Chain A
Amino acid sequence: MCGIAGLLNADGNAAEPDVLLRMISMLRHRGPDAAGVHVDRNVGLAHARLSIIDLSGGAQPMHNEDQSLWITFNGEIFNYLELRADLQKNGHTFATRSDTEVILHLYEEKGPDCVHHMNGQWAFAIWDCKRQTLFLSRDRLGVRPLFYTLANGAFVFGSEIKAIFACPGVARELDLTGLDEVFTYWCTVPPRTAFKGISELPPGHSMVVKGGAVTTLPYWEPDYQTEPHLVDAVKERDYAEELLGLLIDAVRIRLRSDVPVGAYLSGGLDSTLTTALIKKFTDAPLRTFSVTFADAEFDESLYQREAVEFLHTNHQEIRCSAGQIAEVFPSVIWHAEKPVLRTAPAPLFLLSRLVRESGYKVVITGEGSDEILGGYDIFKEAKIRRFWRARSDSKLRPLLLKRLYPYLHNIQNQSDAYRKAFFHINTTQEAEPFFSHIPRWQLTAKLRTFFSADMLAQTSSDAGYGAVRRCLPAAYSTWDAFCQAQYLEIKHLLPGYILSSQGDRMAMAHSVEGRFPFLDYRVVEFASRLPVHLKMKVLNEKYLLKQCAEGLVPPSIQHRHKQPYRAPEGLSFMHPSARDYLEDVLSPAQLAQDGIFDPAAVAKLVAKFRSGAAIGIKDNMGLVGIISTQLLLNQFVNGFEARNTSHETRVTQVCH
């Protein structure tokens, strides 16, 4: 796992090694083991390396036999051994044992189509000297990040935006529309980011830069041509066996590494199952890591311990307190590079630190399972809301609503009349393509209350959800409603928040690489063909996965109700650890100067927290969203510290 950066001066000006050095030193946390810069006239590639495969031979930027192709690559190609064998048969010779070199030779052979053959998580750029083109690509689901901008006649890219900001002449300004998107969808809608002029290469896309022309090439998209609904017991068993077989192989190839691989263990079904599958393939004692909370509302340590005892792993946990969340939050935002509405990234930041201190660089996690196999409550909620509308006579209806969010006390303590209202049972939006997500998006968009008059004037509320609507695929309207909801999660929240703000950025803050068997594209494609009732049977979430897990995980974990990962929210910031920066970023003068939020409304919100009366979702998302936005401004716009913590860097230059 690594960090990449680079630039192409379309005006022909020479690329300066110093600029590339400055850019790559912003990404040292992603790759502390080595760094390299390669310059070819107007093009420069840079790389910060975390050595995982071919520890001695994998230095980057790397070239092919005749040095006509140069690559800077972040990620892993898990099927590289198979690809390498095929390429060797076709006459390619390899100088290293790395997966990086496999991409180069595959590109020689297939050009931009090379990505269709790759199973992995990647962001890379290849400079093709002969064709004078820069080819960039990002993996199917957006595990690895890639940002770019066009500034002063240059195309500039990097794994993180901070590397791009280290390039002279790149403006640092918030994108108000992007910010507004976060305050509806919880994430920006690519290619937009939270910064003006900075774009994100969307997951499943490649890109070609030639001269001053930039062409985006979509190459993969989730598709839900589901198989027929009627499934007998035998067929159901076949599906379960096929899923398990795919998961086993997805785990097997994710254990390919020249350094030891650990695992995150949350206490839920997904990570317990991935950990169980690792145990099947490694004889070495397996290290597992987890977060626990003092607050029982969030804590899952009982289940974690049960999993540890069942699977006999060597386990370490970090107990996360509100004070710690407050303390690390500015660093969390430095790494996330976008506002967040939840504090949930903070414990994962602390967890990756524990992993790193334990000497581990790679962890396997259960991420992605809820999206692809139907685990989230938002899917269940949509199903109940539909049933409610269709079956007005059913006495079951109030009971069904009670089955939702059993872990949210505020919802459980409501009368039926209110519960019905909160789940938008009265809406007539059933035909709406966003039926499943409208309650979440509407609730979140209420946070616009905190925007200043100026901000409100400059961002018109995206009430028609145009940003998301514009990128719906043509077949969307033909899919089952359950799959439509899955698509929205996989396309937006998964890459835009789960895999980034909560995933890559938190793990890489401490040079830890996450690997996600559930996001192996073979598993994803298999899951999207499944008859939907095998994902959620009536209201039993991840039904088929639970069948797969039989005997592999403790029964209590196999059958427990899905509990989403959450952490102590707004109240964390009332802890003294936050005092230093909070007074600074939330001062009325600072808020007025930045102009995003209404200082009086923010003061009322803070007062509500101080009095202990802030218990609502809106209060909590509001405070976390405001603080994170202000910290973002503070660290990237109002001030930006180009951190020159240079590695010992290998610089290569082509002489013409």
Chain B
Amino acid sequence: MRQELRKFVIDNFLYGKNGDSFADDESFLEKGIIDSTGVLELVAFLQSRYGMTIQDQDLVPENLDSIDNLVRFAEMRIFEKQVQ
């Protein structure tokens, strides 16, 4: 999942370039990787690829603003779904 998310971010926001220019814990916002629609693109990807249900209150940097945050957020949601 980590690799897949990383590939999505690189392909989708950096058009395949500079794949090594950010670390897993670095902020997309601070690195200038994501713009205002980028967040919505990320959400669309999480929903379609992992079947995640995402609410408005989930749209915060703590969930979406680095590879680490994305992985944590996605794993947590998938776990919650399994528990239910």
Chain A residues with CB under 8 Å of chain B are 408, 410-411, 413-415, 417-419, 421-422, 442-443, 446, 449-450, 598, 600-602, 604-605, 608, 613, 615-619
Does B37 contact A617, Cβ atoms closer than 8 Å? yes
| Contact A410 B36, CB 8 Å, known A418-B61, A613-B44 | yes
Q: Which of B10-56 contact A (CB under 8 A)?
A: 11-12, 14-18, 29, 32, 35-41, 44, 56
Judge whether B59 is part of the interface by a CB distance below 8 angstroms. Answer: yes
Residues in A whose Cβ lies below 8 Å from that of B37: 410, 615-617, 619
A429–B59 Cα distance when bound, in Å, is: 27
| Contact A617 B36, CB 8 Å, known A449-B17, A600-B16, A601-B16 | yes
Does A415 contact B15, Cβ atoms closer than 8 Å? no
Judge whether B84 is part of the interface by a CB distance below 8 angstroms. Answer: no
Does A598 contact B40, Cβ atoms closer than 8 Å? no
Nearest CB of chain B from residue A570's CB, rounded to whole Å: 12
What is the interface of chain A mostly: helix, strand, loop, or mixed?
A: helix
Point out which of B32, B38, B56 has the most chain A C-beta atoms below 10 A from its C-beta.
Answer: B38
Residues in A whose Cβ lies below 8 Å from that of B11: 604
Does B15 contact A604, Cβ atoms closer than 8 Å? yes
Residues in B whose Cβ lies below 8 Å from that of A413: 40
A6–B40 Cα distance when bound, in Å, is: 53
Judge whether B60 is part of the interface by a CB distance below 8 angstroms. Answer: yes
| Contact A422 B36, CB 8 Å, known A450-B15, A601-B17, A604-B16 | yes
Point out which of B11, B12, B56 has the most chain A C-beta atoms below 10 A from its C-beta.
Answer: B12
| Contact A421 B12, CB 8 Å, known A413-B40, A615-B37, A615-B40 | no
Could you name 15 residue pairs across A and B whose Cβ atoms are closer than 8 Å? A408-B36, A414-B59, A415-B57, A417-B59, A417-B61, A418-B60, A421-B61, A600-B15, A602-B15, A604-B11, A613-B41, A615-B37, A616-B35, A616-B36, A619-B37
Does B15 contact A605, Cβ atoms closer than 8 Å? yes
Residues in B whose Cβ lies below 8 Å from that of A617: 35-37
Nearest CB of chain B from residue A218's CB, rounded to whole Å: 36
Does B12 contact A443, Cβ atoms closer than 8 Å? no
Does B41 contact A615, Cβ atoms closer than 8 Å? yes
Residues in B whose Cβ lies below 8 Å from that of A602: 15
8 Å CB contact of A421 from B14, B29, B56:
B29
Residues in A whose Cβ lies below 8 Å from that of B60: 415, 417-418
A600–B14 Cα distance when bound, in Å, is: 11
Inter-chain pairs besides A418-B60, A604-B16, A617-B35, 20 sampled, C-beta below 8 Å: A414-B36, A415-B56, A415-B57, A415-B59, A415-B60, A419-B36, A421-B29, A449-B15, A449-B17, A598-B15, A600-B15, A601-B17, A613-B12, A613-B41, A615-B40, A616-B35, A616-B38, A617-B37, A618-B35, A619-B37
Q: Closest residue to B10 on the A side, CB-wise?
A: A604
Point out which of B15, B35, B41, B59 has the most chain A C-beta atoms below 10 A from its C-beta.
Answer: B15
Does B32 contact A601, Cβ atoms closer than 8 Å? no
A417–B41 Cα distance when bound, in Å, is: 17
Residues in A whose Cβ lies below 8 Å from that of B14: 449
A450–B44 Cα distance when bound, in Å, is: 24
Does B36 contact A418, Cβ atoms closer than 8 Å? yes
Point out which of A415, A450, A598 has the most chain B C-beta atoms below 10 A from its C-beta.
Answer: A415
Residues in A whose Cβ lies below 8 Å from that of B36: 408, 410-411, 414, 418-419, 422, 616-617
Does A410 contact B29, Cβ atoms closer than 8 Å? no
8 Å CB contact of B40 from A410, A442, A446, A449:
A410
A608–B41 Cα distance when bound, in Å, is: 11
Q: Closest residue to B38 on the A side, CB-wise?
A: A616
Does B41 contact A443, Cβ atoms closer than 8 Å? no
Q: Closest residue to A453 on the B side, CB-wise?
A: B17
Q: Closest residue to A443 on the B side, CB-wise?
A: B35
Nearest CB of chain B from residue A598's CB, rounded to whole Å: 7
Q: Which 6 A-B pairs have the closest CB atoms?
A: A616-B37, A601-B15, A415-B59, A604-B15, A410-B37, A422-B36
A51–B35 Cα distance when bound, in Å, is: 49
Residues in A whose Cβ lies below 8 Å from that of B18: 449
Residues in B whose Cβ lies below 8 Å from that of A408: 36
Residues in B whose Cβ lies below 8 Å from that of A442: 32
Residues in B whose Cβ lies below 8 Å from that of A418: 36, 39, 59-61
